[in-house]
Amino acid sequence: AKLLMVIGMLTWFFTGCSNPALSVVKPSGEVGKMQLNLIYLSTAIMTLVTVVVAVIYIYVVIRFRERPGDTHIPKQVEGSTVLEIVWTVIPIILLIILAVPTVSTTFQIEKRPAPSQHPVQINVTGYQYWWKFNYPQAGITTANEVHIPAGRPIEFVMQSHDVIHAFWVPSLGGKRDLEPGRMNRLILKADKPGTYEGKCTELCGASHALMNFRVIAHQTAEYDAWIRSMQKVNSQAKSVLAKEGQRLVGQNCIGCHAIRNGGYKVLGGKGPELTAFGQRTRIAGVLDNNPQNLRAWLQNPQNVKPGSRMPSFAHLEKKQIDALVEYLESLKGSSQ
Ligand code: CUA
């Protein structure tokens, strides 16, 4: 039964992740690959131990079973120095085999990248239940979606605004806690451009399971263009409806949400920055970004993310919601 359970669990372990962007066994970066090698090593050792124990157990149960007509009491044995040494030394050897690569990998992963590798620093702040990504070198901020250049080491410097969260991008590596009042670092690299899913992996409240983010890795030129488009963003409304939306944002949203170059003094900071919001692939990290979903989010955020600080705007008239949606979806990075 033990063996069947282990086989069952291994099957689940290797096939359970249907989303390749959220899989530890399909790593897309150095750190993920090193961590996967450790997972393979420890799984192999665990399997070996389980198989050996199961084989000895089955052998003993069959070989020394009670046979009909045999009433004699077997030889009674107490203590065996040889056996005790054997079952103490074997686990010590197994633990050394496990410990040496684990410690050396841990130190390798922690190594700060050399300036010649052009590392990018990104400051990550965890909030219940969203992620702030700030690029100190470029002076821009975004939320729930972090753009990175592929092939360069990214140094995530993280802390929490409230409770403990944890940053994990299964296919790139992790995890690292975000703690209030303490900076932690995690260095990751994506081998190639692509979208990698990230998760909060420390129970942090009602919407912990919905505290998702995306890592979008670009070719260097494309990444540089994204940075420039965020720096030069123009957040002024173009259409009449969007202009009404911009006015409503000033009345309803700007206390919490900042929008760069949006025409008003920026007060926001408590909520996710909405600069170039229309370009994001998701709303609040969980809904596909489209007008219907944005309308649903504005009217009942608790339905989407229970415990979120985002208030409901169900009291606004339908055409006011339409105007807000029109303006927010029009927010794009500068194309020049
Ligand atoms: Cu944040 Cu779980």
Q: What is the ipTM of this complex?
A: 0.98
**Spacing, Cα 335 to ligand 1 middle (Å):** 34
pLDDT in tens, 276-295: 999 999 999 999 999 999 99
> How far does the centroid of ligand 1 lie from the alpha carbon of residue 126, in Å?
8
DSSP string of 211-233, one letter each residue: -EEEEEEE-HHHHHHHHHHHHT-
Kindly give the pairing relationship between strand 212-218 and strand 145-149.
parallel
Distance 120 CA to ligand 1 centre (A): 24
Q: How far apart are CA 104 and CA 29, in angstroms?
A: 18
CA distance linking residue 122 with residue 99, whole number of Å:
31
One domain for residues 251 and 126: no
* Residue-wise pLDDT tens digits, 291-327: 999 999 999 999 999 999 999 999 999 999 999 999 9
Q: Please report the atom of ligand 1 found closest to the CA of residue 203.
A: 2
Q: Is residue 260 part of a domain?
A: yes
Q: Tell me how far the alpha carbon of residue 122 lies from the centroid of ligand 1, in angstroms.
A: 19
pLDDT confidence band for 73 (50 / 70 / 90)? confident
Model confidence over 211-240: pLDDT tens digits? 999 999 999 999 999 999 999 998 889 999
Regarding whether 170 and 137 lie in a shared domain, the answer is yes
Which pLDDT value is given to residue 262? 84
Locate the ligand 1 atom nearest the alpha carbon of residue 164 and give its number: 1
Tokens of 330: 């029009």
Q: How far apart are CA 99 and CA 240, in angstroms?
A: 65
Domain harbouring 295, CATH code: 2.60.40.420
Residue range of the domain that includes 322: 240-330
Q: Which atom of ligand 1 is nearest to the CA of 128?
A: 1
Same domain, 142 and 218: yes
User: Is 170 in the same domain as 194?
Assistant: yes
Same domain, 31 and 107: yes
Instruction: For residues 191 and 289, state if they share a domain.
Output: no
Name the token pair of 264. Answer: 């008003």
Q: Is residue 207 part of a domain?
A: yes
Q: Are 283 and 226 found together in one domain?
A: no
Q: Give Rg (Cα) of the chain.
A: 27
263 and 151 share a domain? no
Q: How confident is the model at residue 115 (pLDDT cuts 50, 70, 90)?
A: confident
Model confidence pLDDT, tens digit, residues 14-48 = 555 556 577 888 888 888 899 999 999 999 999 99
Q: Are residues 247 and 198 in the same domain?
A: no
176 CA to middle of ligand 1, Å?
12
209 and 95 in a common domain: yes
Are residues 168 and 175 in contact, defined by beta-carbon separation less than 8 angstroms? yes
Find the residues whose C-beta lies inside 6 A of ligand 1.
126, 129, 165, 200, 202-204, 208, 211
Q: Is 12 within the bounds of a domain?
A: no
Number of domains in the chain: 2
Residue 175: asked if its preceding bond is cis (omega within 30°), the reply is yes
Name the closest-CA residue to atom 1, ligand 1: 165
Which atom of ligand 1 has the smallest separation from the CA of 163? 1
The confidence score (pLDDT) of residue 67 equals: 86
210 CA to centre of ligand 1 in angstroms: 8
CA 130–ligand 1 middle distance (angstroms): 8
Ligand 1 atom at minimal distance to the Cα of residue 201: 2
318 and 219 part of one domain: no
CA pair distance 235, 259, nearest whole angstrom: 7
Ligand 1 nearest-atom number relative to CA 165: 1
